[in-house]
Amino acid sequence: MHKLNQYMRPAVIFDPNNKDHRAYFGEFVKTSSWKNCPVQFYISDDSTDLIYFIQKSMIAYYLEQEFVAKKPRIVQKSALKSTVKLKKMA
């Protein structure tokens, strides 16, 4: 083992579900530097750029939170019938 390896930051795949990873990326966006990041991110798909990979992961994460994770609103049948009756009466 090379001496420099013991001083390297641990390498991990960016996980948008991990609150710390999102915070590290947020700090990078503010400072344009990874100097305060305690880990080194690497790419796990066919992307060629780390920033592009992280942005793509973050977009997928927030789209999941916004649209897929929300349950559809259930309309009660009794409420639906009463509005139909009101429309017929008018």
Helix axes 50-63, 19-31, angle to 10 degrees: 130
Tell me: the pLDDT tens digits for 9-61?
899 999 999 999 999 999 999 999 999 999 999 898 888 899 999 999 999 99
What is the structure's pLDDT at 79? Answer: 55
Query: Could you tell me how many helices (H) and strands (E) the chain has, helices first?
Result: 3, 2
Domain spans, the chain:
3-89
| Global pTM value | 0.68
- Across the range 73-82, mean pLDDT stands at 59
What is the structure's pLDDT at 80? Answer: 56
What is the structure's pLDDT at 45? Answer: 87
